[in-house]
Protein backbone atom coordinates (compact mmCIF):
# COMPACT_ATOMS: atom_id res chain seq x y z
CA UNK A 1 0.00 0.00 0.00
CA UNK A 2 2.79 2.44 0.89
CA UNK A 3 4.54 1.60 -2.37
CA UNK A 4 1.38 2.41 -4.37
CA UNK A 5 1.11 5.79 -2.67
CA UNK A 6 4.81 6.46 -3.39
CA UNK A 7 4.34 5.48 -7.06
CA UNK A 8 1.22 7.65 -7.36
CA UNK A 9 2.99 10.66 -5.82
CA UNK A 10 6.04 10.12 -8.03
CA UNK A 11 3.83 9.90 -11.13
CA UNK A 12 2.01 13.07 -10.12
CA UNK A 13 5.29 14.94 -9.59
CA UNK A 14 6.62 13.71 -12.94
CA UNK A 15 3.41 14.84 -14.66
CA UNK A 16 3.64 18.30 -13.07
CA UNK A 17 7.33 18.56 -14.04
CA UNK A 18 6.65 17.43 -17.62
CA UNK A 19 3.80 19.96 -17.96
CA UNK A 20 6.01 22.76 -16.64
CA UNK A 21 8.81 21.87 -19.08
CA UNK A 22 6.36 21.76 -22.02
CA UNK A 23 4.89 25.16 -21.05
CA UNK A 24 8.36 26.72 -20.80
CA UNK A 25 9.28 25.15 -24.14
CA UNK A 26 6.17 26.67 -25.78
CA UNK A 27 6.95 30.04 -24.19
CA UNK A 28 10.57 30.04 -25.41
CA UNK A 29 9.49 28.95 -28.89
CA UNK A 30 7.13 31.96 -29.01
CA UNK A 31 9.88 34.29 -27.82
CA UNK A 32 12.25 32.90 -30.46
CA UNK A 33 9.61 33.41 -33.19
CA UNK A 34 8.94 37.00 -32.09
CA UNK A 35 12.67 37.76 -31.98
CA UNK A 36 13.08 36.30 -35.47
CA UNK A 37 10.24 38.45 -36.84
CA UNK A 38 11.69 41.54 -35.14
CA UNK A 39 15.15 40.83 -36.63
CA UNK A 40 13.64 40.42 -40.10
CA UNK A 41 11.79 43.74 -39.81
CA UNK A 42 14.94 45.47 -38.55
CA UNK A 43 17.03 43.96 -41.37
CA UNK A 44 14.47 45.05 -44.00
CA UNK A 45 14.21 48.54 -42.55
CA UNK A 46 17.99 48.95 -42.35
CA UNK A 47 18.57 47.65 -45.88
CA UNK A 48 15.73 49.66 -47.43
CA UNK A 49 16.78 52.85 -45.61
CA UNK A 50 20.38 52.43 -46.74
CA UNK A 51 19.32 51.75 -50.34
CA UNK A 52 16.86 54.67 -50.22
CA UNK A 53 19.35 57.26 -48.99
CA UNK A 54 22.18 56.18 -51.31
CA UNK A 55 20.06 56.13 -54.47
CA UNK A 56 19.92 58.97 -56.98
CA UNK A 57 16.43 58.29 -58.24
CA UNK A 58 13.50 56.20 -56.99
CA UNK A 59 10.69 55.10 -59.28
CA UNK A 60 7.48 53.09 -58.91
CA UNK A 61 6.04 50.91 -61.67
CA UNK A 62 4.50 47.86 -59.95
CA UNK A 63 7.79 47.60 -58.05
CA UNK A 64 10.12 50.01 -56.32
CA UNK A 65 13.24 50.73 -58.41
CA UNK A 66 16.14 52.51 -56.75
CA UNK A 67 18.74 53.75 -59.25
CA UNK A 68 22.28 54.38 -58.13
CA UNK A 69 25.25 55.57 -60.18
CA UNK A 70 26.32 52.09 -61.33
CA UNK A 71 23.54 49.77 -60.20
CA UNK A 72 19.81 49.32 -59.75
CA UNK A 73 18.00 47.75 -56.81
CA UNK A 74 14.38 46.63 -56.97
CA UNK A 75 11.87 45.81 -54.26
CA UNK A 76 8.73 43.82 -55.06
CA UNK A 77 5.97 44.13 -52.48
CA UNK A 78 3.86 40.95 -52.45
CA UNK A 79 1.10 40.28 -49.89
CA UNK A 80 3.12 37.70 -47.91
CA UNK A 81 6.72 38.70 -48.64
CA UNK A 82 9.03 41.41 -49.96
CA UNK A 83 11.74 40.60 -52.50
CA UNK A 84 14.90 42.69 -52.87
CA UNK A 85 16.92 42.18 -56.07
CA UNK A 86 20.40 43.59 -56.54
CA UNK A 87 22.53 42.40 -59.47
CA UNK A 88 22.41 38.60 -59.17
CA UNK A 89 21.49 38.65 -55.45
CA UNK A 90 17.91 38.10 -54.32
CA UNK A 91 16.78 38.53 -50.73
CA UNK A 92 13.30 37.47 -49.62
CA UNK A 93 11.83 38.94 -46.46
CA UNK A 94 8.97 36.73 -45.34
CA UNK A 95 6.97 39.61 -43.95
CA UNK A 96 3.51 40.66 -45.01
CA UNK A 97 2.99 44.31 -45.74
CA UNK A 98 -0.10 46.48 -45.61
CA UNK A 99 -1.18 49.95 -46.57
CA UNK A 100 1.54 50.55 -49.14
CA UNK A 101 1.40 54.30 -49.76
CA UNK A 102 3.45 55.96 -52.48
CA UNK A 103 3.55 59.70 -53.13
CA UNK A 104 5.13 60.96 -56.32
CA UNK A 105 6.94 64.19 -57.10
CA UNK A 106 4.42 66.70 -58.42
CA UNK A 107 4.34 66.60 -62.20
CA UNK A 108 6.74 63.69 -62.60
CA UNK A 109 4.90 60.41 -63.06
CA UNK A 110 6.55 57.47 -61.32
CA UNK A 111 9.22 59.46 -59.47
CA UNK A 112 8.73 58.61 -55.80
CA UNK A 113 9.01 61.21 -53.05
CA UNK A 114 7.53 59.27 -50.11
CA UNK A 115 7.06 55.59 -49.39
CA UNK A 116 5.29 54.22 -46.33
CA UNK A 117 3.87 50.85 -45.36
CA UNK A 118 3.07 48.75 -42.31
CA UNK A 119 4.42 45.35 -41.36
CA UNK A 120 2.26 43.44 -38.90
CA UNK A 121 4.06 40.89 -36.72
CA UNK A 122 2.77 38.67 -33.96
CA UNK A 123 2.99 41.34 -31.27
CA UNK A 124 3.40 44.68 -33.09
CA UNK A 125 2.67 46.71 -36.20
CA UNK A 126 5.80 48.36 -37.55
CA UNK A 127 5.54 51.41 -39.81
CA UNK A 128 8.31 52.18 -42.26
CA UNK A 129 8.26 55.64 -43.84
CA UNK A 130 10.93 57.12 -46.09
CA UNK A 131 11.14 60.46 -47.90
CA UNK A 132 13.46 61.45 -50.74
CA UNK A 133 14.25 65.05 -51.60
CA UNK A 134 15.10 65.93 -55.18
CA UNK A 135 16.71 69.39 -55.15
CA UNK A 136 16.38 69.72 -58.94
CA UNK A 137 12.55 69.61 -58.62
CA UNK A 138 12.15 72.11 -55.76
CA UNK A 139 11.54 75.11 -58.03
CA UNK A 140 9.31 73.04 -60.30
CA UNK A 141 7.00 72.12 -57.42
CA UNK A 142 7.11 75.59 -55.84
CA UNK A 143 5.84 77.16 -59.05
CA UNK A 144 3.07 74.58 -59.36
CA UNK A 145 4.17 73.13 -62.70
CA UNK A 146 2.69 69.81 -63.65
CA UNK A 147 -0.52 70.30 -61.65
Confidence (pLDDT) at 99: 87
**Bridge partner list, 98:** 118
- Of the CA atoms within 13 Å of residue 35, those in its CB half-sphere come to 6
- Print pLDDT tens along the chain (147 aa): 888 888 988 999 999 988 988 988 888 887 777 778 888 889 999 999 999 999 999 999 989 999 998 899 999 999 899 999 998 899 999 888 888 899 988 777 889 999 999 998 888 889 999 999 887 766 545 455 554
**Bridge partner list, 60:** 64
Q: How far apart are CA 10 and CA 42, in angstroms?
A: 48
| Alpha-carbon dihedral 120, 77, 81, 118, rounded to 10 degrees | -10
Confidence (pLDDT) at 143: 52
pTM across the whole model: 0.73
Domain boundaries, the chain: 2-142
Q: By the 8 A CB rule, do 123 and 69 touch?
A: no
Q: Measured between alpha carbons, how far is residue 112 from residues 23, 53, 117, 134, 139 in Å?
A: 48, 13, 14, 10, 17
How distant is the alpha carbon of residue 54 from its chain centre?
Answer: 19
Amino acid sequence: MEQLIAIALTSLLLLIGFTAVMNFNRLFRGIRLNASEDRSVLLLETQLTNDWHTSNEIRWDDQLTLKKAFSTITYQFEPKYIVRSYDAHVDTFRLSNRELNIKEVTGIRGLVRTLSFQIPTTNEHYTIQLTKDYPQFKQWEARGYGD
